[in-house]
Amino acid sequence: MQHQLFVVEGIKVVEEFLKSDYELDAIFAVDDRFSHYKQKFTKVNSKELAKISGFSTPNAVLATFKIPIPLEVDWSSLVVALDGINDPGNIGTIIRLCDWFGIENLVCSEDTVDCYNPKVVQASMGSHTRVNISYFDLKKNLPATSNCMGTFMDGESIYEQNLPKTAVIVLGNESNGISEELEDLMRVRLSIPRFGKLQQTESLNVANAAAIILSEFKRDSIER
């Protein structure tokens, strides 16, 4: 991204970013609802919007925003780490899940798909604005003192654990799981047990697994 900009489409998602600290670069719409952005606003017709849209059916408005500098990661909280996730829909959904479950920091390996990929932005539905997303070498930057808990097919059932309020939850690549170079950092190997009679399902989609895991962590943290 030469100009350090990313594209947002759709009225609801654009409005989410406009309400946030993200800096607007330009906005193009088929009506005047965003005309108060003055010099940054350009009114276009449907055909013109279709030429610049990434959608087969454009959704009334397209805006470009500046990519922000990530904030410092708060390792004293519950943090989600993504190791080599390559499907834009998965990372977009995981960003939205982090927002839903109150996870403020998401850290990604350098080979994880760009979080400002248009498909990721669309899948997250504006949750970028409430989650601090950082990219770096996980092997070098995950704190040695942190409670790293990775997801594995042969791990211990998450339903049998006393889950901490502070940890780094590591989710691995859709096909290969957590990379070998990170395995040594995992203090706990977690799994989601299968309940089907045949138990022939190879694995869960990583975004579905993230939903189950985050729900269990948050359920376990509720004061009773």
What domains lie within the chain, and their CATH numbers? 5-66 (3.30.1330.30), 78-221 (3.40.1280.10)
Given a cut of 70, is residue 209 above it in pLDDT?
A: yes
Q: Are 105 and 79 in contact (CB under 8 A)?
A: yes
Residue 99 tokens read as: 């927002």
pLDDT in tens, 29-67: 999 999 999 999 999 999 999 999 988 787 899 999 999
Q: How many helices (H) and strands (E) does the chain have?
A: 7, 10
Which three-class secondary structure state does DSSP give residue 140? Answer: helix
Q: What residue has token string 């500046």? A: 66
> At 115, is the pLDDT very low, low, confident or very high (cuts 50, 70, 90)?
very high
pLDDT over 70 for what percent of the chain? 96
> At 199, is the pLDDT very low, low, confident or very high (cuts 50, 70, 90)?
low
What pLDDT score does 203 carry? 76
What pLDDT score does 201 carry? 66
Q: Are 107 and 137 in contact (CB under 8 A)?
A: no
Q: What is the mean pLDDT of residues 97-109?
A: 97
**Nearest-10 Cα torsion for 204, 205, 207, 211:** -20
What pLDDT score does 54 carry? 86
Amino acid at 212: I
Q: Are 121 and 7 in contact (CB under 8 A)?
A: yes
pTM, two decimal places: 0.93
pLDDT in tens, 181-197: 999 899 999 999 988 77
Residue 61 tokens read as: 């408005």
